[in-house]
Chains A and B, each alone.
Chain A
Amino acid sequence: MEDMLFYDRLQFAFTITFHYIFPQLTMGLSLIIVFYKGLYLRNKLEKYNDAAKFFMKIFAINFTMGVVTGIPMEFQFGTNWAKFSELTGGIIGQTLAMEGMFSFFLESSFLALFIFGEKLMGQKLHFLTGFLVFLGSWASGWFILATNAWMQHPVGYEILENGVFVLTSFSELFTNPWLLPAFLHNQVASVVTSSFVVASIGAFYILSKRDVEFGKLFLKTGVIFGLVSSMLIAFPTGDLNAKNVAKYQPAAFAAMEGIFETEHAGAEIVLIGQPNMVEKKLDNKIAVPNVLSFLTYQDWDRQIVGMDQFKEEELPDNIPALYYAYHMMVGLGTIFIGVMSLAAFLLWRKKLFVTKKILWLIMFLVPFPYIANITGWYVAELGRQPYLVYGLLKTSEGISPTVSSGNTLFTLLGFAGLYLILGALFLLLVGKTIYQGPKHQTH
């Protein structure tokens, strides 16, 4: 039984981590593509249309990868988490089925039209199809976050005697206080990723002295979008999410902030330190007193409940992983604000395109927003442990009763091999697209 749970979790974690490399780019990038297409409609400058079509190619590769790695996610609810599906399908089935109906169809039908239909439709309709692709991809985020919000903070339900969760209020699924901050945080984070990708490709072209005109355009776009989004990621969206965790999941909050002991006169904010689970303390800690209380409650002396106040079984089951995921996300977010502010300042002083050091820095920073996005999801998912539905249904109670650990390991190994191939192909094709460059986009 222990084994079954372990492999089911490992397979889900692995496949969702790999999957989320792709949607986080497509959601943000669709916004930037619509932006370029809109500029082209206004100014009729060919370079904006070329830019839109260039990023559409990168979008298309990511979209394919997102689709093929996304279907295993839907299937796994049934294959590996059958008991969870049986008990909660009447509720989360609503949001997941709506995702298919209202966003996937929009996205996939109009993506094909956007890619192949420019000459067929004329520019205005072409812009519209691009906009619908953007709408579809953000709607998809909305329904997934609505599903996740229900698992983090269940609302509008009733539990029958046989343990089945039934829906009592459909509208509460979408007015869930967890949902809006989580959705905005997630979407802004995807804009951060795509801004860095756009800026980094721009920096690459400038540094390698080719397609410099496009390089400057991409860099400028990436820096402006990147600055705005990385600020929004911290405030207000990140702030609102942290407050939600403190309010609805205090045990997870204590664990992610690394608060082992309750401090009665205001809690410190931990910057660095390693959780020592044997002695229940942080090793090599660097912290600033009272700041956490202020950030959370705007009150320097407010008490924050530490992990000592919770029973063992209420605490997340992997506290160090949760703590690191959270600190990586916050640390990286802070670095993004710093780098993008500096780049925006240089852009304003007209020095950005000639300051090689910052161009190199931006180019090499590109993996880190991906890491920040994924660790952000780890915070949400590890923080919810040991529950699937917070406070109500344990993760161990959700697995498929008939699928043995040997079968799950078999498919996990299959996915590992397959995704290795997919990852290599993905890098090859995106690399080739960047190498070919944005000039004279056909179709």
Chain B
Amino acid sequence: MELFWFIIVAIVLTVFFILDGYDFGVGIIHLFMAKEEKDKEVITKSAGLFWDSNEVWLVVAGGLLFMAFPVYYASVFSGFYLPLMMVLWLIIFRAIGLEFRSQFSHQMWRDIWDKSFGVSSLLLALFFGMALGNIIRGVNLGGVENGISKYEGHYFFLPLWDASFSPLAESPGVIDWFTIIIGFISVVVLAIHGANWIILKTNASINPKLKTTILKLNSVLVALTLISLVVWQWINPNCFDNFMDKPYLLIFPLIYILGIVGLFFVRKFDKDIYGFICSTALVFGGVTSSLASIFPVILPSTNTVNDSLTIYNTATTEYGMSVAMGWGIIGFILLFVYLVVQKRLMGGKVDKMDYGH
């Protein structure tokens, strides 16, 4: 039952990264590449039509995590207090940037909200990447100092950074040079993903240029991925054990690699959707590989005093999880029905759709 709910939460979270991920990516591309008002308008529209239903996947992932793994929810949300609050603020700036830009046609008004959307999307991509980095690196559970826990074993509190910025510190912070690398990977992956979304959904004049950008970013991504693997191996020599023991888990990194390889052919695709499928594979493979590498642990402990958090020691009761399975399955089917209905009705390019107030 724990496994069932872990898989469900992991799916919802991955879908969130795939869907809202393209919104973040669109924001990044918008910030650096969109120059003409016509492009800016249609690019914001390609995210503006979808962000709020995409963001609901995050809300639902949070709700399901709360229900099925309350100990984990309590521990992680209080432990990552500061970065989570900043994510909330960024989410607010992202949303109002998208929603409010079209309210007035004054240039300054639009510039403000374009920047608000772009910068917060960039930072959100970075923060979510760093969050993933933190989860696989682990935290100082129990706040251990000199072998003694300051808190109960499943609680911790992470400062934004430790003076050494090292992932090997006794109490590493949210930002260290390992999580920064993962954060950059996330920014690059989502920028590629967003660029593919723009190509798929709009007739923006920068679309041909975006394919070149995707190629360049893809090369950067290969380099960053290799660096991260070497660094990761150095920080945690056992980090690939899960894949050795259960070779079927290799499917996840394989999907990631296929995504990268596919994207090198972005210029040869005869349909725009192929590029988007490749970058979806990137996001999917990246998130799932990270989770698979530590499973069944969901938050490793960096000390030897307190045990890592796993899906088994943080779950609620069998009754709670099984009764939720009943409504969960119905709800889950509905989610995908809505998603399909929405994407079908709003399929095609967004340029001609009425947007704005």
Residues of A within 8 A of B (CB): 57, 60-61, 63-64, 67-69, 71-72, 74-75, 77-80, 82-83, 85-94, 96-102, 104-106, 108-113, 116-117, 119-121, 166-168, 170, 400-404, 407, 410-411, 414, 418, 422, 425, 429, 432-433, 442-443
Contact = CB atoms under 8 A, between A and B. Distances in A.
The prevalent SS among residues of B at the interface is helix
B130 to A, nearest CB: 17
B346 A112 contact: yes
A430 to B, nearest CB: 11
**In the complex, the 7 A-B pairs of residues with the closest C-beta atoms, listed nearest first:** A89-B70, A78-B77, A93-B67, A101-B331, A90-B316, A97-B63, A443-B354
Nearest to B350: A116
B265 interface: no
A401 B79 CA distance: 10
Contact of B63 (A72, A83, A96, A443): A96
Interface stretch (B36-44, B162-170, B221-229, B333-341): B333-341
A400 to B, nearest CB: 4
15 contacts: A71-B91, A78-B74, A90-B320, A93-B73, A96-B63, A97-B66, A100-B62, A105-B60, A109-B53, A170-B323, A402-B81, A403-B157, A407-B82, A429-B103, A443-B355
Interface in B70-101: 70-71, 73-79, 81-82, 84-85, 88-89, 91-92, 95-96, 99-100
B78 A82 contact: yes
Given A72-B88, A83-B74, A401 B151 contact: yes
A116 B88 contact: no
B248 interface: no
A86 B74 contact: yes
A89 B342 contact: no
Contacts of B67: 89-90, 93-94, 96-97
B238 interface: no
Contact of A71 (B59, B79, B151, B156): B59
Contacts of B342: 109, 112-113
B119 to A, nearest CB: 15
Interface centre among A102, A168, A433, A442 (most CB of B within 10 A): A102
B60 A101 contact: yes
A83 to B, nearest CB: 7
B345 A117 contact: yes
B157 A402 contact: yes
A75 B78 CA distance: 9
A93 B70 contact: yes
Contacts of A109: 53, 338-339, 341-342
B317 A112 contact: no
A94 B53 contact: no
Interface centre among B52, B76, B339 (most CB of A within 10 A): B52
A62 to B, nearest CB: 11
A119 B335 CA distance: 25
B343 to A, nearest CB: 10
A402 B151 contact: yes
Nearest to A443: B354
B75 A168 contact: no
Nearest to B58: A71
Contact of B52 (A61, A108, A168, A401): A108
A89 B197 CA distance: 37
Interface string B309-349: 00000001101100110011001101100110110011000
Contacts of B91: 68, 71
B269 to A, nearest CB: 28
B60 A97 contact: yes
A110 B79 CA distance: 36
Contacts of B49: 112, 116
B138 interface: no
Interface string B27-68: 000000000000000000000011011011011101110111
Contacts of A93: 63-64, 66-68, 70, 73, 316, 320
Contacts of A404: 157
Contacts of A68: 91-92, 95-96
Contacts of A119: 354
A56 B161 CA distance: 45
Contacts of B82: 407, 410-411
Contacts of A443: 354-355
A79 B75 CA distance: 8
B85 A79 contact: yes
Nearest to A111: B52
B230 interface: no
Given A97-B60, A167-B316, 15 more contacts: A64-B95, A77-B66, A77-B77, A87-B70, A93-B67, A100-B60, A101-B60, A109-B342, A112-B52, A112-B53, A166-B316, A166-B319, A170-B323, A402-B155, A443-B355
A116 B355 contact: yes
A403 B345 contact: no
B357 interface: yes
Contacts of B75: 82, 86
A75 B85 CA distance: 8
Interface centre among B49, B327, B332, B357 (most CB of A within 10 A): B357
Given A109-B338, A414-B85, A90 B70 contact: yes
Nearest to A86: B74
